[in-house]
Every structure is written in C-alpha cells, then in structure tokens.
C-alpha cells in the first residue's frame, strides 16, 4: 500500500470514529438499527412464557421500537445493579422494569414520564399476628438490596430509629415473597401490582399496611445532556396515553388481578392438586386449537370441576351446558365428563369462529368467553352500544365498560336481544383469566420440578455406570 493511501485510510477511520462519538443518542440508535433495552426479569415486566418472551415492559418497549422502525435488543437481568452498570457503560439505552421513581433515582438518572402508579405495601403471612403499625413488628423487614423499598425504609428509619430491616443481595422480590410464605421471613415490602400478581399463586400473602402510596413508575436513562432520544420518549408516552394503547396494555397484564378472594384462590389451588388430575387428559384431548389450561379454567369457573353440577337455570355438568346447546354439540349426557368437555370445547370454538377476525388476540378470546356466558347476541349488543358511545367495539377494555348497561332498561330496550346480566359476564371473563394464569404457573412449576427430578435420575444413573467397578463372579471351591 502506498503511503498516501495509508494516511487517507487512517484519516477516514479517525473521522468516522469522531463522527460516531459526536453523534446524538438517537442517531446512534438509527445507525445500529436497534434500541438496546436493559429489562428486569419478573412477572410485572418480562418473563419467558409458554410461547416465548412476554411481559408488560417488553410489549411497551416493542411499541417504541416499532414507532422508530428499528429492532429491539433485550438485555435481561435478575439484578438491577447489573442493568445500572450497563446503563452507566452505555451498553443499553434505557432500563425498563416497573421501577419506582424515588428521590435517589431522580438525582442519579433521567426518567421518562410516569406511565404507572403503585403503592408500596408491608406484607406478612396469613395466620400470623397482624402488625397494625410499624411498632408491632416482631422481626426485621427483609427487602432487596439497593431497591426502592430499601430507600423507603431508610426514610422511615429517620422517624423511627428502632425500625429493624435487612437488605438481601442474593434474592429478588419474588424469592423474598416465597420466603414469607415458607415462614423464613416475617415481613417484606413489595409493590402493589407485584403483590396482586403473586396472590394468584400465594393467597396466604396478606397486606399489613400501605407504607407509601401513589408512587410513579418510569424508565431510567443516563443523566446526559443529550435530549435527542429523551424527546422521542416524551412524544412516545404522550402518544400511547392519547391512543389508549397504554391502558389496553395495562388491562391485558393487570386488569384481571385487582380483585382478590382469599378463600376462592386457596380452594382453586387445592382443586388443581386434588381434582384436576382426574379430568386433565380430557381437557388436553378436546382443547383443539386452544390451550387445554384455558378450557380447564373455563370449566372451573362454570362448575368448580364438579361433573354433576347443576344451576337453578338448568345448566349441568363440568361445562354447564344448556339442554339446547348440548343437543347442538352432540352431547347425549351432560353429566358424562368426556361428553361435557367435548361439547363445551366445540361450543367455545364455534363462538370463537363467530368473532370477527379483524379483532386481535387476546380480545377475540375474551369476547368468546363472554359469549359462552351470556351469548354472542348480547355481546354484539354491547359492542354496538360501545360504538354508539364513541369507543372501540373491537376492544374488550372498552366493551366491558358497556356490558353492565345491558341491565338497564333505557339501554337494553334499544338492543336486538334485550336484557342481559352484562356485569356478570365481565366478572366471568376476569375470573377465567385469573384461573388460567394461576393454572399456567402451577403447571409450569410442576413441569420444571419434573424435569429437575428426571435430570437427577439421569445424572445418578450416569455416575453409577461410570464409577461402579465390574464385579467378578465369586468362585466357590469345594
């Protein structure tokens, strides 16, 4: 290579490096064609479900990437410290994880507009003595190290110097809640939305008191003077607010878990262990295109898995079919578990096929479930009422607000099918969603435990075959 060519190449590289260093954060995102997101593992933000990665924060970040027309690169972690380090080193553009915007975080980081609000609550195990005030605590409060909860406790300790608490550097919030259930930890502080999700699986978690309320949740960015990407985020959150996309997303992940029934949840988890195994093969056999666990959740809402259940209106069996519906589905005995499950699944599939294909999942599924309860005609009436009021008839979030109006004469007298208990249909769908979520969790936990046990058996067999010496036959001489 000639000297002139060498120096030209070097100059080009230096100019390129300088341009990259001087380019704004938004320009860098477009240059690499991706947004890099540090995201916390957990049920309120990001987790790997049966069909792959899902979560509120994941979908919200994907919406941002779609708006910018770039790819989404995820950097998941169970530890916030790990993500904060990546943010400081410029390896991620922002951190998402349902993070409470505390005073300390405001001082250290830049934050997006708040997109959710939560309460911090003190939690203990049902059956233990209920601490009415912080003075009633009989053991230290345990929280995740350097979390928003530890900052809250530091503030509380200024007013109550005797307040005892510990920070754990090895456990996350989910694991500490598990230790509360196991009796290894007496108290912890958690976010209200996280508690609502976990009470589907651990109904023994009880709220002692609200420690702080109405706290904003935001994404965190580095404290930079570069406003290019920050301006995009302000516009993005303004758009998702105004379009209703944020409310729809929140309803998808959290809308069905706000109401909690301790006795019902406890009874359901017990039924999963004791009753479901008898009928599970039938749910799996006749689920068709749907998840068998959804069909099982529907059946529990209908009959609590009682094959001879009967309502005052005459519906019967595991899937609580009316006599006309049973005949249409080819069911000759509604009390026969196999016929009932087969007929109920066929009926649900028929209703599902009637929902307009333009309606996306999971809204299409929620409409089908509501139709199973009060009939497609009444659901269609509610959708027309929704449209007449200027809302979206294809969104379950909008229609479920109008369904209760089918009880009111001034509304139902103008509909095709008239009166219906639309409010009960809303509760019906939300209950099934909760039952389905709980069953997913229990089933996945059982499968994970089974895989671990099988791995232990295989490892044991491999060790036995590798270490045991060959045994020579014993020769007995006379």
CB 222 within 8 A of CB 283: no
- Check pLDDT > 50 for residue 464: yes
Report the pLDDT averaged over residues 303-320.
Answer: 92
pTM over 0.75, yes/no: no
pLDDT given at position 12? 44
pLDDT given at position 273? 92
Report the pLDDT averaged over residues 454-478.
Answer: 61
Clarify whether 302 is annotated catalytic: yes
Using alpha carbons, list the distances in angstroms from residue 54 to 42, 279, 292.
10, 29, 20
- Check pLDDT > 70 for residue 443: yes
- Check pLDDT > 80 for residue 359: yes
**CA 346, CA 165: separation in Å to the nearest integer?**
55
pLDDT given at position 4? 44
**CA 236, CA 209: separation in Å to the nearest integer?**
35
- What is the Rg, in whole angstroms, of the alpha carbon atoms belonging to the chain? 28
Q: State what percent of residues in the chain have pLDDT above 70.
A: 91
Q: Where are the beta strands (DSSP E) in 173-231?
A: 188-191, 205-221
Listing DSSP states for 93-121 in one string gives: SEEEEEEE--HHHHHHSEEPPP-EEEEEE
pLDDT given at position 3? 46
CB 109 within 8 A of CB 99: no
* Residue 14 buriedness (CB in 10 A; 0-12 / 13-18 / 19+): exposed
Residue of higher predicted confidence among 296 and 202:
296
- Check pLDDT > 60 for residue 269: yes
Q: Taking the C-alpha atoms of 53, 54, 59 and 61 in order, what is their torsion angle to the nearest 10 degrees? A: -50
In this predicted structure, which of 319-323, 326-330, 412-416 has the lowest mean pLDDT?
A: 412-416
Structural domains in the chain, CATH included, are 117-215 (3.40.190.10), 262-431 (1.10.530.10)
Identify the band that residue 366 occupies on the pLDDT scale cut at 50, 70 and 90: very high
- Check pLDDT > 60 for residue 11: no
pLDDT given at position 455? 78
Task: State the Cα angle at 259 between 257 and 262, rounded to 5°.
Answer: 100
**CA 30, CA 69: separation in Å to the nearest integer?**
9
Report the pLDDT averaged over residues 378-402.
Answer: 94
Of the residues 57, 120, 174, 302, only one is catalytic, namely: 302
Max CA pair span of the chain: 106
Tens digits of per-residue pLDDT, 46-79? 887 666 788 899 999 999 999 999 999 999 988 8
């Amino acid at each position: 290579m000639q000297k002139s060519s060498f120096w030209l190449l070097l100059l080009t590289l230096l100019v390129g490096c300088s341009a990259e260093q001087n380019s704004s954060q938004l320009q860098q995102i477009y240059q690499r064609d991706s947004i890099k997101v540090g995201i916390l593992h957990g049920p309120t933000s990001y987790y790997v479900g049966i069909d792959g990665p899902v979560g509120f924060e994941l979908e919200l970040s994907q919406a941002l990437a779609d708006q910018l027309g770039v790819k989404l690169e995820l950097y998941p972690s169970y530890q916030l410290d790990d993500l904060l380090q990546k943010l400081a080193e410029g390896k991620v553009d922002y951190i998402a994880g349902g993070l409470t915007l505390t005073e300390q975080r405001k001082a250290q980081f830049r934050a997006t507009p708040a997109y959710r609000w939560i309460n911090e609550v003190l939690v203990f195990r049902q059956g233990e003595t209920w601490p009415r005030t912080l003075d009633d605590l009989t053991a230290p409060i345990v929280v995740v190290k350097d979390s928003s909860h530890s900052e809250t406790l530091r503030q509380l300790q200024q007013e109550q110097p005797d307040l005892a608490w510990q920070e754990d550097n090895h456990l996350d919030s989910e694991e500490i809640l598990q230790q509360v259930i196991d009796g290894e930890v007496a108290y912890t502080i958690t976010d209200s939305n996280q508690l609502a999700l976990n009470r589907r699986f651990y109904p023994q978690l009880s709220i002692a008191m609200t420690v702080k309320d109405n706290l904003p949740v935001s994404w965190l960015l580095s404290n930079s003077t570069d406003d290019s990407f920050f301006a995009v985020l302000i516009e993005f959150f303004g758009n998702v607010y105004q379009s209703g996309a944020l409310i729809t997303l929140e309803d998808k992940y959290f809308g069905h878990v706000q109401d909690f029934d301790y006795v019902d949840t406890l009874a359901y988890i017990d039924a999963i262990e004791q009753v479901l195994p008898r009928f599970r093969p039938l749910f799996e056999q006749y689920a068709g295109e749907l998840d068998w666990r959804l069909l099982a959740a529907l059946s529990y809402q209908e009959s609590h898995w009682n094959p001879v259940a009967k309502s005052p209106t005459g519906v019967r069996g595991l899937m609580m079919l009316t006599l006309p519906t049973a005949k249409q589905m080819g069911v000759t005995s509604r009390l026969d578990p196999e016929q009932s499950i087969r007929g109920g699944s066929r009926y649900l599939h028929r209703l599902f096929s009637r929902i307009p294909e333009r309606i996306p999942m999971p809204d299409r599924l929620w409409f089908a479930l509501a139709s199973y309860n009060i009939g497609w005609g009444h659901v269609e009436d509610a959708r027309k009422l929704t449209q007449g009021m200027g809302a979206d008839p294809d969104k379950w979030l909008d229609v479920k607000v109008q369904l209760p109006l089918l009880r009111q004469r001034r509304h139902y007298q103008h509909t095709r099918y008239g009166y219906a208990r639309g409010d009960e249909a809303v509760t019906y769908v939300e209950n099934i969603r909760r039952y389905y979520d709980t069953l997913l969790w229990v089933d996945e936990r059982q499968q994970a435990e089974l895989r671990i046990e099988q791995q232990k058996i295989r490892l044991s067999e491999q060790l036995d075959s590798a270490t045991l010496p060959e045994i020579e036959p014993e020769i007995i001489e006379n």
